[in-house]
Amino acid sequence: MIKIKQIDNVTHVSAAVTEFSDSIGYCEYKIPLSIEGVKAKPTKALLMGSKAHIAEEKHEQETVEFEPVTTDELIDETIDLEFPREDIYSRLIVPFEFGKQAVVVSLNGRIDKMKRVGGTLFIQDDKFVARPETYENKTTPFPGQLLQVLAYLSSTFSNVRNPTPEDILDMSHTEKKWQLRICDRKTREPYKTFSEVVDQFSMQFLHNSIEKFASIATGFAQPEHHNSKAKCNACNLKSSCEFRL
């Protein structure tokens, strides 16, 4: 649920990373619906995907033993590191100003996989889908999928959900790279992997998207319709949306 709070003349917008990426990447009308508290019934695809995520996490717990990461290892970018699945929480805070109104956006998430290899910080997100072959001819992921991993890479990291400054993992790196794996839901095997180094263009795309998200959430802008009946038919909020096609 997207939450709006007014604190000392500053409007605070808080949301999950997935709420931000889904609304901007799929349908902007999900923003006001989420603010109103509208909740969708979990779809079969979502439940099956969650089940696959849990199975993958359990498999790693049973087959891999991780050593605790020290502060010295975090700051030494020459040391390769890998964190357990679902062990890292992210928080991205971005300030804006619309007119004379100060707005602060806080996006919180939980990362599938984070590691550092050869000085490069990797964020991996797995999508477990029923028909991975539909991605065969795609050269890039869907916008919402890309926004999700970019938001993670721009965040601060911690092992706890509500960190204090002392809990932040300040991990040195030479560059950042995202990996988005499309996996078969039944076998959990990767079918296709999208991956790129973060550049100035992708960071601008992320910033513009968060600004748009903030402006719609605070009422400074109106949602734009995607004008796709297929998207409306597939949306899990269609029964509550007066703007559905």
pLDDT in tens, 59-101: 888 998 898 899 999 999 999 999 999 999 999 999 999 989 9
State the pLDDT at residue 41.
76
Strand partners, 111: 88
State the pLDDT at residue 169.
93
Q: CB-hemisphere CA count at 13 Å for 87?
A: 16
State the pLDDT at residue 7.
93
Domain extents in the chain: 3-240
- Rounded to whole angstroms, the maximal C-alpha distance in the chain is 55
Nearest to 23 by CA among 35, 6, 11, 12: 35
State the pLDDT at residue 179.
97
58: left (phi over 0), alpha (psi -120 to 50) or beta: alpha
| Strand 10-16 to 101-111 pairing | parallel
State the pLDDT at residue 43.
76
**Can you say how many angstroms the Cα of residue 57 is from the centroid of all Cα atoms in its chain?**
18
Strand partners, 197: 177
In this structure, which CATH number among 3.90.320, 2.60.40, 3.40.50, 1.10.357 belongs to the domain 3-240?
Answer: 3.90.320
pLDDT in tens, 119-136: 999 999 999 999 999 999
Q: CA-CA distances (angstroms) from residue 81 to 84, 170, 171? A: 10, 13, 10
Residues of the chain predicted below pLDDT 70: none
Q: What is the Cα–Cα distance from 244 to 176, expressed in whole angstroms?
A: 38
State the pLDDT at residue 45.
78
